[in-house]
Amino acid sequence: MDKLMDVGRMDNYYEQIVKKKFTANQFTALVLSLCGVITVIVLCVFFSGIIPILVPVSLISLGVGIWLIYYLIKNSGIEYEYTFVMGEMRVERIKGKSKRKKVAAFDVKDIDDIGKYIDRETGKRTVDPSKHGLILHAEENDTNIDTYYVIIHDKIRHKHAILTFTPNKTTLEKLRPFLSVELKKKFLKMMKEEEKYEAEAKKEAVQN
């Protein structure tokens, strides 16, 4: 959580920026894509010296390849912005520091459920997202133990959905007052468990 960046600390307004972290498989896919593009460029340029008709093809491939490499690298940087405004949460995905896309918008008071998405002990999901219709991702990494989920009524698509995200402590505290009585009880229990885990982790780190 300490690697997340957050700005703005007004009572009725708060923003948190979460940088998307690629999993090993996603990173491998990106590297393979880049290698594939470079390989095609090299082959086209090489064979154009043997087969003259391939000269224009190699030039086109070179231009397209350079553009694809630029596009892949630029769009590999993804961030999520959580904005809390007067009891409403808005989530946007930011690509390449410029392109924005709305992920979700919902009233916190209408949240049906909230919890940890990944169990600390087993490393497995605590909920089956496929059972909640629309699945919206806005987390640092879906295997991260700091990932949470909320069952919401998305205002953008007007559908029931599950949203996975990586809130820091301030974002969580902003949500708490608007939750239902039952969810507040669950929330407090969850926070106590997190505090206990953090205390034990610090104690173990000192001992080591």
Instruction: Give CA–CA dist 72/75, Å, rounded.
Output: 5
Q: Which CATH class is domain 5-20+77-207?
A: mainly beta
Q: Say if CB 164 and CB 183 are below 8 A apart.
A: no
Q: Say if CB 106 and CB 155 are below 8 A apart.
A: yes
The closest of 22, 3, 23, 4 to 14, measured between CA atoms, is 4
Give the pLDDT score at 63: 73
Q: Which residues, in sequence order, are CB contacts of 174 under 8 Å at separation 6+?
A: 14, 84
Beta bridge partners of 83: 15, 90
Instruction: Give CA–CA dist 77/204, Å, rounded.
Output: 35
Give the pLDDT score at 164: 96
Model confidence, pTM: 0.74
Residues of the chain with pLDDT under 70: 1-11, 22-27, 29-30, 37, 41, 45, 48-49, 51, 53-55, 57-59, 61-62, 65, 68-69, 71-76
Q: Say if CB 118 and CB 144 are below 8 A apart.
A: yes
Give the pLDDT score at 5: 44
Give the pLDDT score at 203: 83
Give the pLDDT score at 157: 94
Give the pLDDT score at 73: 66
Give the pLDDT score at 29: 67
The tokens describing 79, both together, are 């961030």
Instruction: Give CA–CA dist 189/173, Å, rounded.
Output: 13
> Angle CA(81)–CA(183)–CA(150) in degrees, nearest 5?
35
